[in-house]
A = this chain, B = another copy of it.
Amino acid sequence: MTKDISITEVAKRAGVSIATVSRVFHNRGPVKESTRRKIESIIEETGYTPNQLARELANKKTQLIGLIVHDFTGEGLPRAINGVNQIVEDQGYHVLMTSTRGNLDSELRNFEILRSKRVEGIIFATRSFKKEHQEIIEKLPIPVVVMLQDTTENGISSVFFQNKQFAYDATKALLGMNHRQLAFFGGPSASVNSSHRKDGFIQAFMEAGMTPDDKMVKHGDFSIESGYIQMNKLLALKKPFTALVTINDAVAIGAINCLLDHGMRIPEDVSIIALDKTVVADASRVQLSAVSYSYQDLGIQAAKLLVKQIGSGNKTIEQIKIDYDVHLQDSTQRLNVKE
Protein backbone atom coordinates (compact mmCIF):
# COMPACT_ATOMS: atom_id res chain seq x y z
CA MET A 1 0.00 0.00 0.00
CA THR A 2 2.57 2.53 -1.17
CA LYS A 3 1.09 5.97 -1.46
CA ASP A 4 1.32 7.89 -4.68
CA ILE A 5 4.24 10.26 -4.71
CA SER A 6 4.64 13.37 -6.81
CA ILE A 7 7.59 14.57 -8.78
CA THR A 8 7.99 17.41 -6.30
CA GLU A 9 8.42 14.95 -3.50
CA VAL A 10 11.04 13.03 -5.43
CA ALA A 11 12.85 16.27 -6.23
CA LYS A 12 12.79 17.31 -2.62
CA ARG A 13 14.26 14.04 -1.41
CA ALA A 14 16.94 14.14 -4.07
CA GLY A 15 17.71 17.73 -3.35
CA VAL A 16 17.22 18.79 -6.95
CA SER A 17 14.56 20.57 -8.96
CA ILE A 18 11.60 18.86 -10.51
CA ALA A 19 12.95 19.70 -13.94
CA THR A 20 15.92 17.47 -13.32
CA VAL A 21 13.77 14.64 -12.09
CA SER A 22 11.67 14.95 -15.22
CA ARG A 23 14.80 14.79 -17.35
CA VAL A 24 15.97 11.68 -15.64
CA PHE A 25 12.62 10.01 -15.85
CA HIS A 26 12.31 10.62 -19.57
CA ASN A 27 15.99 10.19 -20.39
CA ARG A 28 16.18 13.42 -22.16
CA GLY A 29 18.48 16.33 -21.82
CA PRO A 30 21.90 16.08 -20.19
CA VAL A 31 22.17 15.08 -16.53
CA LYS A 32 25.33 14.47 -14.56
CA GLU A 33 25.81 10.77 -14.02
CA SER A 34 25.96 11.03 -10.25
CA THR A 35 22.76 13.01 -9.87
CA ARG A 36 21.06 10.73 -12.35
CA ARG A 37 21.89 7.72 -10.23
CA LYS A 38 20.79 9.46 -7.09
CA ILE A 39 17.44 10.33 -8.60
CA GLU A 40 16.97 6.92 -10.09
CA SER A 41 17.46 5.24 -6.76
CA ILE A 42 14.90 7.54 -5.17
CA ILE A 43 12.41 6.86 -7.93
CA GLU A 44 12.99 3.20 -7.34
CA GLU A 45 12.50 3.24 -3.61
CA THR A 46 9.47 5.51 -3.59
CA GLY A 47 7.83 3.67 -6.47
CA TYR A 48 7.18 6.98 -8.17
CA THR A 49 4.83 6.85 -11.15
CA PRO A 50 4.07 10.10 -12.93
CA ASN A 51 0.49 11.19 -12.65
CA GLN A 52 -0.91 10.75 -16.11
CA LEU A 53 -3.70 13.20 -15.46
CA ALA A 54 -1.32 16.05 -14.90
CA ARG A 55 0.80 14.95 -17.76
CA GLU A 56 -2.16 14.74 -20.07
CA LEU A 57 -3.39 18.09 -18.94
CA ALA A 58 -0.03 19.56 -19.78
CA ASN A 59 0.30 18.09 -23.23
CA LYS A 60 -3.36 17.98 -24.08
CA LYS A 61 -3.20 14.35 -25.08
CA THR A 62 -5.05 11.68 -23.15
CA GLN A 63 -4.11 8.63 -25.19
CA LEU A 64 -7.65 7.52 -24.60
CA ILE A 65 -10.25 6.38 -27.03
CA GLY A 66 -13.89 5.89 -26.12
CA LEU A 67 -16.02 2.90 -26.94
CA ILE A 68 -19.79 2.99 -26.98
CA VAL A 69 -21.62 -0.29 -27.35
CA HIS A 70 -25.06 -1.64 -26.62
CA ASP A 71 -23.62 -4.16 -24.19
CA PHE A 72 -20.60 -6.41 -24.01
CA THR A 73 -22.25 -9.73 -24.66
CA GLY A 74 -23.21 -11.59 -27.79
CA GLU A 75 -21.22 -13.82 -30.08
CA GLY A 76 -19.58 -11.20 -32.21
CA LEU A 77 -19.14 -8.00 -30.28
CA PRO A 78 -16.66 -9.28 -27.72
CA ARG A 79 -14.41 -10.35 -30.56
CA ALA A 80 -14.70 -6.96 -32.17
CA ILE A 81 -13.87 -5.29 -28.87
CA ASN A 82 -10.89 -7.54 -28.59
CA GLY A 83 -9.73 -6.43 -31.99
CA VAL A 84 -10.15 -2.80 -31.05
CA ASN A 85 -8.26 -3.21 -27.83
CA GLN A 86 -5.42 -5.03 -29.46
CA ILE A 87 -4.75 -2.35 -32.06
CA VAL A 88 -5.32 0.51 -29.73
CA GLU A 89 -2.97 -0.79 -27.04
CA ASP A 90 -0.29 -1.39 -29.62
CA GLN A 91 -0.52 2.29 -30.43
CA GLY A 92 -0.25 3.33 -26.83
CA TYR A 93 -3.90 4.20 -26.43
CA HIS A 94 -6.38 2.89 -23.91
CA VAL A 95 -10.06 2.24 -24.11
CA LEU A 96 -12.70 3.83 -21.97
CA MET A 97 -15.78 1.70 -22.29
CA THR A 98 -19.42 2.59 -21.92
CA SER A 99 -22.55 0.63 -22.55
CA THR A 100 -25.98 1.92 -23.31
CA ARG A 101 -28.38 -1.00 -23.21
CA GLY A 102 -29.60 0.31 -26.55
CA ASN A 103 -31.09 3.37 -24.96
CA LEU A 104 -30.86 6.46 -27.17
CA ASP A 105 -30.57 8.93 -24.31
CA SER A 106 -27.85 6.86 -22.78
CA GLU A 107 -26.00 6.74 -26.09
CA LEU A 108 -26.11 10.49 -26.47
CA ARG A 109 -25.07 11.02 -22.89
CA ASN A 110 -22.12 8.71 -23.37
CA PHE A 111 -20.85 10.86 -26.21
CA GLU A 112 -20.90 13.82 -23.83
CA ILE A 113 -19.23 11.91 -21.05
CA LEU A 114 -16.48 10.61 -23.28
CA ARG A 115 -15.96 14.04 -24.69
CA SER A 116 -15.63 15.59 -21.29
CA LYS A 117 -13.13 12.88 -20.42
CA ARG A 118 -11.25 14.22 -23.44
CA VAL A 119 -10.92 10.95 -25.27
CA GLU A 120 -9.20 11.53 -28.59
CA GLY A 121 -11.62 9.52 -30.65
CA ILE A 122 -14.71 7.35 -30.33
CA ILE A 123 -15.78 4.01 -31.73
CA PHE A 124 -19.51 3.67 -31.76
CA ALA A 125 -21.27 0.35 -32.33
CA THR A 126 -24.99 0.60 -32.80
CA ARG A 127 -27.88 -1.44 -34.08
CA SER A 128 -29.63 1.51 -35.55
CA PHE A 129 -28.04 4.81 -36.44
CA LYS A 130 -30.29 7.81 -35.95
CA LYS A 131 -30.32 11.50 -36.85
CA GLU A 132 -29.67 12.34 -33.22
CA HIS A 133 -26.42 10.42 -33.41
CA GLN A 134 -25.39 12.23 -36.51
CA GLU A 135 -26.08 15.61 -34.98
CA ILE A 136 -24.11 15.00 -31.85
CA ILE A 137 -21.22 13.48 -33.75
CA GLU A 138 -20.99 16.42 -36.11
CA LYS A 139 -20.45 18.73 -33.18
CA LEU A 140 -17.70 16.64 -31.68
CA PRO A 141 -14.14 17.97 -32.00
CA ILE A 142 -12.78 14.44 -32.34
CA PRO A 143 -13.05 11.71 -34.95
CA VAL A 144 -15.72 9.05 -34.64
CA VAL A 145 -15.88 5.69 -36.37
CA VAL A 146 -19.14 3.80 -36.48
CA MET A 147 -19.04 0.02 -36.35
CA LEU A 148 -21.70 -2.31 -37.79
CA GLN A 149 -23.58 0.28 -39.83
CA ASP A 150 -22.78 2.05 -43.06
CA THR A 151 -22.99 5.73 -42.19
CA THR A 152 -21.32 7.07 -45.30
CA GLU A 153 -24.50 8.92 -46.23
CA ASN A 154 -24.44 10.64 -42.89
CA GLY A 155 -20.93 11.83 -43.52
CA ILE A 156 -19.35 9.63 -40.86
CA SER A 157 -16.65 7.01 -41.25
CA SER A 158 -17.74 3.46 -40.71
CA VAL A 159 -16.66 -0.14 -40.79
CA PHE A 160 -19.29 -2.78 -41.44
CA PHE A 161 -20.32 -6.13 -42.84
CA GLN A 162 -21.84 -6.39 -46.29
CA ASN A 163 -25.18 -7.65 -45.11
CA LYS A 164 -27.19 -7.25 -48.26
CA GLN A 165 -24.44 -8.49 -50.49
CA PHE A 166 -23.74 -11.75 -48.70
CA ALA A 167 -27.42 -12.47 -48.11
CA TYR A 168 -27.82 -12.06 -51.85
CA ASP A 169 -24.89 -14.36 -52.58
CA ALA A 170 -26.09 -17.02 -50.18
CA THR A 171 -29.57 -16.95 -51.65
CA LYS A 172 -28.15 -17.14 -55.16
CA ALA A 173 -26.21 -20.19 -54.08
CA LEU A 174 -29.42 -21.91 -53.06
CA LEU A 175 -31.14 -20.87 -56.27
CA GLY A 176 -28.15 -22.22 -58.15
CA MET A 177 -28.80 -25.56 -56.50
CA ASN A 178 -32.28 -25.52 -58.00
CA HIS A 179 -34.12 -24.54 -54.87
CA ARG A 180 -37.17 -22.43 -55.64
CA GLN A 181 -39.22 -22.59 -52.48
CA LEU A 182 -37.21 -20.63 -49.97
CA ALA A 183 -37.88 -19.38 -46.47
CA PHE A 184 -36.08 -16.67 -44.56
CA PHE A 185 -35.72 -16.37 -40.78
CA GLY A 186 -34.67 -12.87 -39.84
CA GLY A 187 -33.83 -11.13 -36.60
CA PRO A 188 -35.92 -8.43 -34.94
CA SER A 189 -37.71 -6.35 -37.55
CA ALA A 190 -36.16 -3.24 -35.99
CA SER A 191 -32.66 -4.46 -36.73
CA VAL A 192 -31.13 -2.60 -39.63
CA ASN A 193 -28.65 -5.38 -40.32
CA SER A 194 -31.39 -7.95 -40.34
CA SER A 195 -33.47 -5.95 -42.79
CA HIS A 196 -30.48 -5.47 -45.10
CA ARG A 197 -30.00 -9.21 -45.15
CA LYS A 198 -33.65 -9.67 -45.92
CA ASP A 199 -33.28 -7.20 -48.77
CA GLY A 200 -30.46 -9.27 -50.22
CA PHE A 201 -32.54 -12.39 -49.94
CA ILE A 202 -35.50 -10.78 -51.65
CA GLN A 203 -33.43 -9.24 -54.39
CA ALA A 204 -31.90 -12.57 -55.37
CA PHE A 205 -35.33 -14.07 -55.26
CA MET A 206 -36.86 -11.49 -57.52
CA GLU A 207 -33.98 -11.54 -59.95
CA ALA A 208 -34.83 -15.19 -60.41
CA GLY A 209 -38.21 -14.04 -61.61
CA MET A 210 -40.15 -14.99 -58.52
CA THR A 211 -42.09 -13.08 -55.93
CA PRO A 212 -41.30 -13.86 -52.32
CA ASP A 213 -44.16 -15.10 -50.21
CA ASP A 214 -44.55 -12.97 -47.10
CA LYS A 215 -45.51 -16.00 -45.08
CA MET A 216 -42.12 -17.52 -45.74
CA VAL A 217 -40.28 -14.55 -44.26
CA LYS A 218 -40.26 -14.64 -40.48
CA HIS A 219 -38.85 -12.47 -37.73
CA GLY A 220 -37.58 -13.40 -34.30
CA ASP A 221 -34.38 -12.69 -32.46
CA PHE A 222 -30.87 -14.08 -32.83
CA SER A 223 -31.20 -17.08 -30.53
CA ILE A 224 -31.32 -20.83 -30.97
CA GLU A 225 -34.70 -20.87 -29.32
CA SER A 226 -36.01 -18.32 -31.77
CA GLY A 227 -34.96 -20.57 -34.65
CA TYR A 228 -36.86 -23.44 -33.12
CA ILE A 229 -39.99 -21.37 -32.63
CA GLN A 230 -39.94 -19.87 -36.09
CA MET A 231 -39.55 -23.28 -37.63
CA ASN A 232 -42.48 -24.59 -35.66
CA LYS A 233 -44.60 -21.80 -37.03
CA LEU A 234 -43.36 -22.38 -40.53
CA LEU A 235 -44.16 -26.07 -40.40
CA ALA A 236 -47.62 -25.27 -39.10
CA LEU A 237 -48.31 -23.42 -42.35
CA LYS A 238 -47.93 -26.69 -44.22
CA LYS A 239 -46.47 -24.78 -47.14
CA PRO A 240 -43.81 -26.71 -49.01
CA PHE A 241 -40.26 -25.37 -48.92
CA THR A 242 -36.92 -26.92 -49.75
CA ALA A 243 -34.47 -24.39 -48.44
CA LEU A 244 -33.99 -21.89 -45.67
CA VAL A 245 -31.79 -18.85 -45.11
CA THR A 246 -31.32 -17.81 -41.48
CA ILE A 247 -30.02 -14.60 -40.00
CA ASN A 248 -27.27 -16.48 -38.17
CA ASP A 249 -26.00 -19.88 -37.07
CA ALA A 250 -27.88 -19.95 -33.78
CA VAL A 251 -31.23 -19.57 -35.50
CA ALA A 252 -30.15 -22.21 -38.02
CA ILE A 253 -29.40 -24.66 -35.24
CA GLY A 254 -32.75 -24.01 -33.62
CA ALA A 255 -34.44 -24.59 -36.96
CA ILE A 256 -32.44 -27.76 -37.60
CA ASN A 257 -33.26 -29.15 -34.18
CA CYS A 258 -36.92 -28.49 -34.78
CA LEU A 259 -36.81 -30.19 -38.17
CA LEU A 260 -34.99 -33.20 -36.74
CA ASP A 261 -37.59 -33.40 -33.99
CA HIS A 262 -40.20 -33.58 -36.72
CA GLY A 263 -38.38 -36.49 -38.29
CA MET A 264 -37.00 -34.53 -41.21
CA ARG A 265 -33.50 -34.78 -42.53
CA ILE A 266 -30.90 -32.12 -43.35
CA PRO A 267 -30.04 -31.59 -46.14
CA GLU A 268 -32.19 -34.25 -47.82
CA ASP A 269 -35.48 -32.59 -46.94
CA VAL A 270 -34.37 -29.03 -46.34
CA SER A 271 -31.18 -27.17 -47.25
CA ILE A 272 -30.10 -24.54 -44.77
CA ILE A 273 -27.62 -21.73 -45.00
CA ALA A 274 -26.81 -19.36 -42.15
CA LEU A 275 -25.78 -15.73 -42.59
CA ASP A 276 -23.30 -15.68 -39.74
CA LYS A 277 -20.94 -18.28 -38.41
CA THR A 278 -19.67 -18.14 -34.84
CA VAL A 279 -18.51 -20.75 -32.33
CA VAL A 280 -22.14 -21.75 -31.89
CA ALA A 281 -21.99 -23.33 -35.34
CA ASP A 282 -19.74 -26.04 -33.92
CA ALA A 283 -22.65 -27.33 -31.89
CA SER A 284 -24.60 -28.26 -35.00
CA ARG A 285 -24.88 -31.96 -35.69
CA VAL A 286 -24.87 -31.15 -39.38
CA GLN A 287 -21.87 -29.16 -40.59
CA LEU A 288 -23.49 -25.85 -41.33
CA SER A 289 -23.29 -24.11 -44.68
CA ALA A 290 -22.82 -20.50 -43.75
CA VAL A 291 -21.52 -17.07 -44.59
CA SER A 292 -18.65 -16.11 -42.37
CA TYR A 293 -16.86 -12.88 -41.63
CA SER A 294 -14.52 -11.82 -38.89
CA TYR A 295 -15.77 -9.74 -35.99
CA GLN A 296 -12.23 -9.46 -34.78
CA ASP A 297 -11.33 -7.87 -38.08
CA LEU A 298 -14.27 -5.52 -37.77
CA GLY A 299 -12.79 -4.21 -34.54
CA ILE A 300 -9.27 -4.12 -35.90
CA GLN A 301 -10.24 -2.11 -38.94
CA ALA A 302 -12.33 0.30 -36.92
CA ALA A 303 -9.50 0.88 -34.48
CA LYS A 304 -6.91 1.32 -37.21
CA LEU A 305 -9.09 3.80 -39.00
CA LEU A 306 -9.76 5.76 -35.84
CA VAL A 307 -6.13 5.90 -34.82
CA LYS A 308 -5.22 7.05 -38.30
CA GLN A 309 -7.78 9.81 -38.15
CA ILE A 310 -6.62 10.88 -34.73
CA GLY A 311 -3.08 11.04 -36.03
CA SER A 312 -3.83 12.93 -39.21
CA GLY A 313 -6.23 15.28 -37.52
CA ASN A 314 -8.54 15.28 -40.47
CA LYS A 315 -11.98 13.84 -40.53
CA THR A 316 -12.20 12.51 -44.07
CA ILE A 317 -15.03 10.08 -44.39
CA GLU A 318 -13.93 6.54 -45.01
CA GLN A 319 -15.86 3.40 -45.55
CA ILE A 320 -14.47 -0.05 -44.88
CA LYS A 321 -16.34 -3.16 -45.88
CA ILE A 322 -15.34 -6.36 -44.15
CA ASP A 323 -14.84 -9.36 -46.42
CA TYR A 324 -16.90 -12.49 -46.19
CA ASP A 325 -16.90 -16.07 -47.40
CA VAL A 326 -19.73 -18.34 -48.35
CA HIS A 327 -18.89 -21.82 -47.12
CA LEU A 328 -21.08 -24.56 -48.45
CA GLN A 329 -20.88 -27.60 -46.23
CA ASP A 330 -23.28 -30.38 -45.27
CA SER A 331 -26.47 -28.51 -44.55
CA THR A 332 -27.11 -27.64 -48.19
CA GLN A 333 -27.63 -29.91 -51.14
CA ARG A 334 -28.46 -29.63 -54.81
CA LEU A 335 -32.13 -30.30 -55.42
CA ASN A 336 -32.93 -32.95 -57.99
CA VAL A 337 -35.45 -31.43 -60.33
CA LYS A 338 -38.34 -33.77 -60.92
CA GLU A 339 -40.03 -33.07 -64.20
**Chain A interface (Cβ < 8 Å from any Cβ of B):** 1-4, 47, 49-54, 56-57, 62, 64, 71-74, 77-79, 81-82, 85-86, 89, 94-99, 112-113, 115-118, 138-141, 223-225, 250, 253-254, 257, 260, 279-280, 282-285, 315
A209 → B minimal CB distance (Å): 37
A-B contact pairs, 5 of them (CB 8 A): A2-B139, A53-B53, A72-B79, A74-B78, A97-B97
Expressed in whole angstroms, the Cα–Cα distance for A4 and B112 within the complex equals 12
Expressed in whole angstroms, the Cα–Cα distance for A78 and B73 within the complex equals 5
Expressed in whole angstroms, the Cα–Cα distance for A117 and B96 within the complex equals 12
5 closest residue pairs by CB, A with B: A283-B283, A224-B282, A78-B78, A49-B116, A73-B78
Expressed in whole angstroms, the Cα–Cα distance for A56 and B89 within the complex equals 23
A77 → B minimal CB distance (Å): 8
* Residues on the B chain within 8 Å of A315, using CB: 1
- When the two chains form the complex, which single residue of B1, B94, B141 contacts A139, counting CB atoms closer than 8 Å? B1
* Residues on the B chain within 8 Å of A3, using CB: 141
Cβ of B56 and Cβ of A53 under 8 Å apart? yes
- When the two chains form the complex, which single residue of B62, B72, B253 contacts A81, counting CB atoms closer than 8 Å? B72
* Chain B residue at smallest Cβ distance from A63: B117
* Chain B residue at smallest Cβ distance from A299: B72
Expressed in whole angstroms, the Cα–Cα distance for A73 and B85 within the complex equals 12
Given A1-B315, A138-B1, A257-B285, A72 and B98 contact (CB-CB distance below 8 Å): no
Expressed in whole angstroms, the Cα–Cα distance for A50 and B141 within the complex equals 14
Expressed in whole angstroms, the Cα–Cα distance for A292 and B116 within the complex equals 41
Cβ of A47 and Cβ of B139 under 8 Å apart? yes
* Residues on the B chain within 8 Å of A112, using CB: 49
Expressed in whole angstroms, the Cα–Cα distance for A260 and B150 within the complex equals 44
Residue with the highest number of chain B CB atoms closer than 10 Å, among A1, A77, A140: A1
* Residues on the B chain within 8 Å of A117, using CB: 52-53, 94
* Residues on the B chain within 8 Å of A96, using CB: 64, 94-97
Expressed in whole angstroms, the Cα–Cα distance for A47 and B115 within the complex equals 11
A223 → B minimal CB distance (Å): 7
Cβ of B62 and Cβ of A73 under 8 Å apart? no
A17 → B minimal CB distance (Å): 21
Expressed in whole angstroms, the Cα–Cα distance for A280 and B253 within the complex equals 11
* Residues on the B chain within 8 Å of A115, using CB: 4, 49
Cβ of B53 and Cβ of A62 under 8 Å apart? yes
Cβ of A285 and Cβ of B285 under 8 Å apart? yes
Expressed in whole angstroms, the Cα–Cα distance for A86 and B50 within the complex equals 30
Cβ of A140 and Cβ of B1 under 8 Å apart? yes
Expressed in whole angstroms, the Cα–Cα distance for A280 and B223 within the complex equals 10
Expressed in whole angstroms, the Cα–Cα distance for A162 and B141 within the complex equals 48
